[in-house]
């Protein structure tokens, strides 16, 4: 099975995709498309966060990246022998393309030359539009929540603030432009550890995502893939302050200082 990864290439994306690059007879990563988010789009996101009283969460999203970078650095001599998707791809001689737009004709034509059987969407930072969905082979997307619950932005925060007993990682098929919709290919649940911050829970889920997507690929290869409905549930845009207040009311925190530098009690 030939796989093309579409990603922003950040450390969190590497946590959830590193097992795709391991030697395997069942699939092969044949290309990586890096999505570079334009400065204008970043400004638009910041303005949207301000308008929705979610500047704290926009800052947290950057903190996730910094923390995961330090966490990977600590793990470099262990199970994460490489430090990034780019390092893994370059060491394997896998071709890549950097683009500002996953939906542009040039990007889609490049992907077509790689003749993929599957697209792995791993933190792409952009929405696949209808023409791209129609032009590409099946697209799998990773979302760190128990879909259909907590789709959209801040799924881990929403789950912890709601007091969910379980967190989840979901791989689903992108069939439309609606975020985190489409049939569920594979889902794995994990306990909501009461002593874990939002940051620790997020890092743990992205690590678990590496197993979830490889398990889904194994099932597909064996013809045992069973799709689950992804309807109902809840969908979130910027979280606002209500989930943060609920989180604190439950005695939970967004992060602990040592976690910023990649030090976690358990994973």
CA atoms of 131 and 139, how far apart (whole Å): 13
pLDDT at residue 114 above 70? yes
Classify 209 as helix, strand or coil: helix
Mean pLDDT, range 52-76, rounded to an integer: 93
pTM of the model: 0.95
Domain spans in the chain, listed from the N-terminal domain onward: 2-260
Q: In what order do the strands lie in the sheet with 166-173?
A: 96-99, 28-35, 2-7, 118-122, 139-143, 166-173, 184-191
* Distance separating alpha carbons of residues 200 and 102, to the nearest angstrom: 30
Could you tell me which CATH class the domain 2-260 is placed in?
alpha beta
Side-chain half-sphere exposure of 13, counting CA atoms within 13 A? 22
What pLDDT digit, counting tens, does each position of 194-235 carry?
A: 999 999 999 999 999 999 999 999 999 888 888 999 999 999
């Amino acid at each position: 099975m030939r796989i093309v990864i579409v990603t922003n290439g950040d450390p969190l994306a590497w946590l959830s995709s590193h097992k795709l690059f391991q030697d395997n007879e069942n699939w092969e990563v044949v290309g990586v498309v890096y999505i570079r988010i334009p400065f204008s789009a970043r400004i638009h996101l910041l303005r949207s966060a301000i308008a929705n009283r979610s500047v704290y969460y926009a800052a947290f999203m950057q903190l996730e990246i910094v923390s995961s970078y330090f966490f990977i650095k600590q793990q470099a001599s262990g199970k994460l022998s490489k430090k990034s998707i780019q390092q893994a791809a370059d060491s394997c001689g896998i071709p890549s393309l950097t683009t500002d737009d996953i939906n542009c004709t040039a990007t889609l034509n490049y992907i077509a030359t790689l003749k993929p059987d599957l697209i792995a969407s791993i933190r792409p930072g952009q929405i696949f539009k209808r023409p791209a969905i129609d032009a590409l082979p099946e697209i799998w997307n990773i979302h760190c929540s128990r879909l259909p619950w907590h789709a959209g932005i801040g799924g881990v925060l929403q789950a912890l603030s709601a007091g969910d007993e379980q967190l989840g990682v979901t791989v689903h098929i992108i069939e439309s432009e609606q975020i985190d919709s489409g049939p569920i290919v594979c889902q794995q649940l994990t306990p909501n550890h009461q002593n874990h911050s939002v940051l620790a829970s997020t890092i743990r889920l992205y690590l678990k995502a590496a197993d979830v997507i490889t398990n889904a690929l194994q099932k597909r290869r064996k013809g045992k893939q069973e799709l689950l409905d992804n309807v109902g549930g809840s969908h979130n845009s910027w979280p606002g302050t209500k989930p943060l207040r609920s989180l604190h009311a439950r005695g939970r925190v967004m992060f602990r200082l040592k976690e910023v530098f990649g030090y976690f009690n358990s994973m």
